[in-house]
């Protein structure tokens, strides 16, 4: 029995091997390794792709968040509203800044933060909102930007899972004051190591992120502010430039896979992803909801099919955030999602035969013949 993994990065490499290999050798021969011409070119290309004026390459998606919070002056005494149903970096960067993360619940259909809940959580200490476009589906940015304008709050978009996703004809990352992207290998635009980017339409913010990432100074060995070492390297940038040219094709393949899953799963007792009207989902994950989720996860594993649980425990209930004082049951939709979500194999190279095998195995489990 051949296995079907949840993700297959080798298949993608094989499909673009010649271009990638040439780019690697080009960087080796160039003598530029950190923040060189490829980083500069990638910054312009990603900014254009997103629909922003500026891009600033940094060491990871986590650092993109960390530097964005720093540049907006968010720190001790401030509150930042975000979702608990996300990867930990969305919130732990807020904590590292000295501010307090304030968690509000999600929409049970889309898993994204609910604008009305954000509004209800605003206090005089609130400084910013960090919406996450989870699994590749845009959050409700129009409503979120409206709340931000009325209360004079910053918006930092966490676009780590959603590069290229659109809402009302605009790509995510072009709505907020700043947007944060991750090029972690498993993301839709993934490097061969760590990487990230901040995009913005504000030249002052872009300039200050640039200074922050290089030890707080524009001129070497002269430091204006307390900075960080958070640089994107040339190798990753060169490889990402190759991959960016293929990204739209891969996104289309992800949507093909999702459409097949939608169709084949429609007769089964599982909840398939709900896509809001007017948005383009880029299916970083294809996530279903099922009762007896853990049993199904194990059942598929025993049949050589990899699935993942993003995320089993929402952040407000993590030990890390015990001191924030959220009780179990306080954000019930996120907690319920944590018990029921299961992300199926999803990558552009997934074949029709593999998709069918995944669905057949789920059907077999649900038919109850197996316990």
Cβ-proximal residue to ligand PLP, closest one: 61
> How many C-beta atoms surround the C-beta of residue 77 within 10 A?
10
Q: Quick one: 104 or 359, whose CB is closer to ligand PLP?
A: 104
Q: Is 85 in the site for ligand PLP (CB under 6 A)?
A: no
What whole-number distance in Å separates Cα of residue 327 and Cα of residue 63? 30
Q: Is 112 in the site for ligand PLP (CB under 6 A)?
A: no
What whole-number distance in Å separates Cα of residue 262 and Cα of residue 241? 32
- CB-based contact 54:48 (threshold 8 Å): no
Q: Is 157 in the site for ligand PLP (CB under 6 A)?
A: no
- CB-based contact 61:90 (threshold 8 Å): no
Min separation Cβ 134 and ligand PLP, Å = 7
Q: Is 196 in the site for ligand PLP (CB under 6 A)?
A: yes
Residues linked to residue 271 through DSSP beta bridges, in sequence order: 289
- CB-based contact 80:100 (threshold 8 Å): yes
Taking CB under 6 A as the binding criterion, the range among 48-56, 72-80, 153-161, 240-248 that sits at the site for ligand PLP is 153-161
What whole-number distance in Å separates Cα of residue 131 and Cα of residue 326? 20
Q: Is 111 in the site for ligand PLP (CB under 6 A)?
A: no
Min separation Cβ 43 and ligand PLP, Å = 16
Q: Give the contact letters, 113-132, x = binds to ligand PLP (CB under 6 A), - = no.
A: -------------------x
Min separation Cβ 70 and ligand PLP, Å = 15
Q: Which residues contact 8 (CB under 8 A, 6 or more apart)?
A: 347, 349, 350
Q: Quick one: 87 or 283, whose CB is closer to ligand PLP?
A: 87
Listed residue (97, 99, 67, 78) closest to 208, CA to CA: 67
Q: Is 211 in the site for ligand PLP (CB under 6 A)?
A: no
Q: Is 158 in the site for ligand PLP (CB under 6 A)?
A: yes
Taking CB under 6 A as the binding criterion, the range among 57-65, 119-127, 213-221, 353-361 that sits at the site for ligand PLP is 57-65
Measured over the CA atoms of residue 155, residue 212, residue 247 and residue 349, the dihedral's sign is negative
Q: Is 82 in the site for ligand PLP (CB under 6 A)?
A: no
- CB-based contact 69:89 (threshold 8 Å): no
By CB under 6 A, name the binding residues for ligand PLP.
60-62, 86-87, 89-90, 132, 158, 160-161, 182, 184, 194, 196
């Amino acid at each position: 029995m051949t296995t079907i993994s949840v993700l297959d990065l080798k298949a993608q490499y094989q499909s673009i091997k010649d271009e990638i290999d040439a780019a690697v050798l080009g960087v080796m021969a160039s003598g530029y390794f950190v923040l060189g011409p490829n980083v500069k070119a990638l910054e312009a290309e990603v900014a254009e792709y997103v629909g922003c004026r500026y891009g600033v390459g940094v060491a990871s998606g986590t650092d993109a968040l960390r530097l964005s919070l720093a540049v907006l002056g968010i720190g001790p005494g401030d509150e930042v509203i975000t979702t608990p149903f996300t990867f930990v970096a969305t919130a732990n960067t807020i904590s590292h800044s000295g501010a307090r993360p304030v968690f509000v619940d999600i929409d049970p259909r889309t898993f994204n933060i609910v604008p009305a809940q954000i509004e209800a959580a605003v206090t005089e200490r609130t400084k910013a909102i960090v919406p996450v476009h989870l699994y590749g589906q845009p959050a409700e940015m129009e409503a979120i930007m409206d709340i931000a304008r009325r209360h004079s709050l910053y918006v930092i978009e966490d676009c780590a899972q959603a590069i290229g996703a659109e809402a009302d004809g605009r790509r995510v990352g072009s709505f907020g004051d700043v947007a944060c992207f991750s090029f972690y290998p498993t993301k839709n635009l993934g490097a061969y190591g760590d990487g990230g980017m901040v995009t913005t339409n504000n030249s002052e913010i872009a300039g200050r992120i640039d200074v922050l990432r290089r030890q707080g100074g524009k001129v070497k060995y002269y430091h204006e502010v307390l900075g960080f070492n958070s640089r994107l390297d040339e190798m990753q940038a060169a490889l990402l430039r190759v991959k960016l040219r293929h990204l739209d094709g891969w996104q289309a393949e992800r949507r093909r896979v999702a459409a097949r899953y939608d169709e084949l799963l429609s007769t089964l007792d599982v909840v398939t992803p709900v896509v809001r009207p007017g948005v383009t989902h880029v299916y970083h994950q294809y996530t279903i909801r099922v009762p007896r989720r853990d049993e199904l996860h194990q059942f598929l594993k025993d049949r050589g099919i990899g699935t993942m649980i993003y995320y089993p425990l929402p952040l407000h209930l993590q030990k890390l955030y015990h001191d924030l004082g959220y009780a179990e049951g306080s954000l019930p939709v996120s907690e319920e999602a944590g018990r029921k979500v299961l992300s199926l194999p999803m990558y552009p190279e997934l074949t029709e035969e593999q998709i069918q095998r995944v669905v057949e195995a789920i059907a077999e489990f649900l038919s109850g013949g197996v316990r």
